[in-house]
Amino acid sequence: MKGRTLVRHGKEGLKNIGRNGWMSFASISAVTVMLMVVGVFLLLILNLNHFLESVEEDVEVRVYIDLTATEQEQEELRNDLEQLDHVESITYLSKDEGLDQLIDSLGEDNREVFESLRDENPLNDAFILRATDPQLTEQVALQAEELNDIDRVDYGKQVVDQLFKVTNVMRTMGIVLVLGLMFTAMFLISNTIKLTIVARQKEIQIMKLVGATNGFIRWPFFIEGILLGVIGSIIPLALVTGGYYYVYNNYASRLSLDFAELLPASPLSLQVSLILLAIGVFVGVWGSLTSVRKFLKV
Amino acid sequence: MRIIEMNNVSKTYSNGVNALNNIDILIEKGEFVYVVGPSGAGKSTFIKMIYREELPSSGSIHIQGSDITKLKSKHVPYLRRKIGVVFQDFKLLPKLSVYENIAFALEVIEEPRHIIRKRVMEVLDIVKLKSKARFLPDELSGGEQQRVSIARAIVNDPRVLIADEPTGNLDPDTSWEVMETLETINRSGTTVIMATHNREIVNTIKRRVIVIESGRIVRDELRGSYSYER
Ligand SMILES: Nc1ncnc2c1ncn2[C@@H]1O[C@H](COP(=O)(O)OP(=O)(O)OP(=O)(O)O)[C@@H](O)[C@H]1O
Ligand SMILES: [Mg+2]
Residue A56 has what pLDDT? 63
Those of residues 212-251 in A touching chain B at CB distance below 8 A are 212-214, 216-217
- Please classify residue A151 by burial: count the beta carbons closer than 10 Å to its beta carbon, then call 0-12 exposed, 13-18 middle and 19+ buried: middle
Q: Over the stretch B153-188, which tens digit does the pLDDT of each residue have?
A: 999 999 999 999 999 988 898 899 899 999 999 999
Helix residue ranges, H only, A58-200: 71-83, 95-105, 108-115, 137-145, 156-199
Which ranges of chain B does DSSP label H, i.e. alpha helix?
43-50, 76-80, 98-107, 113-126, 142-154, 172-187, 199-204
Ligand nearest to the CA of B35: 1
Contact present, A8 and B110 (Cβ < 8 Å): no
Lowest-confidence pick of A155-164, B87-96, B127-136: A155-164
In angstroms, the CA A90 to CA B102 distance is: 90
In chain B, ranges of CATH 3.40.50.300 domains = 1-82+158-225
Task: Bin A159: left if φ > 0, else alpha if -120 < ψ < 50, else beta.
Answer: alpha
Residues of chain A contacting B153 with CB distance shorter than 8 Å: 210
Q: Whose CA is nearest to atom 7 of ligand 1?
A: B13
Local structure of residue B74 (DSSP, 8 states): G
- Residue B189 CB less than 6 A away from ligand 1: no
H or E element, residue A229:
helix A214-255
pLDDT digits (tens, 9 = 90+) for B203-221: 999 999 999 999 999 999 8
Q: How many Å apart are CA A80 and CA A158, to the nearest integer?
A: 23
- Tell me which fold the domain B1-82+158-225 belongs to: Rossmann fold (3.40.50)
ipTM of model: 0.85
Q: How far apart are CA B171 and CA A219, in angstroms?
A: 41
Domains of chain A: 3-56+163-294 (no CATH), 60-154 (3.30.70.3040)
Of B74, B108, B113, the CB nearest to A210: B108
- Residue B229 CA to ligand 1 centre (angstroms): 19
What mean pLDDT is reported for chain B? 93
What per-residue confidence (pLDDT) applies to A253? 65
Q: Which 3 state secondary structure label does DSSP give B59? A: strand
* Per-residue pLDDT, A187: 82
Cα separation, B58 vs B9, in Å, equals: 6
What is the model's pLDDT at position B229? 56
Please list, in sequence order, all residues whose beta carbon lies within 8 angstroms of the beta carbon of residue A130, skipping any fewer than 6 positions away: A59, A60, A61, A87, A88, A89
Say how many Å lie between the CA of residue B19 and the centre of ligand 1: 7
Per-residue pLDDT of chain A (298 residues; tens, 9 = 90+): 678 788 888 888 888 888 778 888 888 888 898 888 888 888 887 887 777 776 666 667 888 888 888 888 888 888 888 888 888 888 888 888 888 877 776 666 667 777 777 777 878 888 888 877 766 777 888 888 888 888 888 876 666 677 667 777 877 887 888 788 878 878 887 887 777 778 778 888 888 888 999 988 898 888 988 998 999 999 999 998 898 888 888 876 665 554 457 788 878 888 889 999 999 999 888 888 888 887 787 5
Q: How far apart are the C-alpha atoms of B125 and B210, rounded to whole Å?
A: 31
Whether B149 lines ligand 1, by a CB cut-off of 6 Å, is no
Instruction: Write down the pLDDT at residue A204.
Output: 87
| Ligand 1 pocket member B43 (CB < 6 A) | yes
